[in-house]
Structure 1
């Protein structure tokens, strides 16, 4: 056992370390978290997204999306997400709650310009994502920077569960400057 799992500060630091690894390592479990929103008709929605940045100092994450996707309708009604990651190697579950700001257009054009062509294919599908189509491949990929958006996620709450030899659970809140509190696992 290490300090990373035995102290509140260590556990908090380990979670952000893993999120950072997910940003830079395509094979890391934190690269593809499950993101949950609430639909305009109040149903939970979960999807896998690519984690693009994780900033412990700012308590923030970023994700990229297509402005035409159905998740944007959900976020316009309720600009909050939950993020979930299970890292089997460290036996750590990371759950975050965040408020979301949607940024598109000129402010994110520099990011668009850095996206490789194969990844740009995800932004600008015709017809828009979620539209009914006659056959499985009845759509066209038409990369369009006008449909590219960045979700700037301001983390408000973190819940961590470490399932090592001794189970530990802690919660952290932006409102108390991430001091942390142990919880029964």
Structure 2
């Protein structure tokens, strides 16, 4: 029997297993990927987000955010993102490219209603996120479902590197129907 990193199919399966673990296990490294966008003035921006869902069949992941966050402005200008995950236990780096759709409004109310109260504190800050303030705590948290949004990330490309004893790198893309391609690491 081969190790998962020895075949393209094994790597692809491991990527999605890792993403699923990031959704269900709050302590898993995939739980908090780096999410990168391009600002309206063309500067790269990276921040940590919490992975809230993944669907390997649809090649989609999703995260929650505040409608007033900088990432929303960036995604309204350029609706694309890159995500990065490093799982040291597996020696696995996953880079994802995605087209992003912003969803907000009353259709998300059932999701909002199931968010724990302590997590709702992240949606509805006055003044809005990124606004200059006089002191470090010169803001008020007022949970507001009207500022809650979900980012649906339709994966278009995956690049994975296994940094084991022998390094292996593989690429998968939607336009190749997710058929893998080995790359030089």
TM tier, smaller:
over 0.9
1:21-32 → structure 2 map (5 Å cutoff): 21-32=21-32
- What does 1:1-185 align with in structure 2 at a 5 Å threshold? 2-185=2-185
- Shift, 1:176, TM fit: 1.1
> C-alpha separation between the residues in 2 aligned to 1:3 and 1:59?
23
Unaligned segments of structure 1, at least 5 residues:
none
How far is the alpha carbon of 1:3 from its aligned partner?
3.4
Dislocated runs of 4+, deviation >3 Å? none
Inter-partner Cα distance in structure 1 for 2:183 and 2:140:
49
What's the RMSD between the two structures over aligned residues? 0.9
C-alpha separation in 1, matches of 2:97 and 2:178:
13
State the distance in 2 between where 1:73 and 1:141 align.
21
Question: What is the alpha-carbon distance in structure 2 between the residues aligned to residue 74 and residue 9 of structure 1?
Answer: 34
Q: CA deviation at 1:107?
A: 1.5
Rounded Cα–Cα distance in structure 1 between residues aligned with 2:184 and 2:174 = 20
Aligned residues: 185
* 3-state SS of paired residue (1:123): coil
Q: Partners in 2 of 1:154 and 1:161 — Cα distance?
A: 21
Q: 2: CA distance between counterparts of 1:56 and 1:2?
A: 23
Tell me, in whole angstroms, the C-alpha distance in 1 between the residues paired with 2:108 and 2:4.
36
The normalised TM-score by structure 1 is: 0.99
Shift of 1:106: 1.2
Superposed displacement of residue 2, structure 1 = 3.8
Q: Quote the Cα distance in structure 1 between the aligned partners of 2:155 and 2:7.
A: 21
**For residues 92 and 70 of structure 1, what CA distance do their matches in structure 2 show?**
29
Deviation by residue 1:25-59 (Cα, 9 ceiling, x = unmatched): 01000000000000000000000000001111110
TM-score (norm 2): 0.99
Unaligned ranges ≥5, structure 2? none
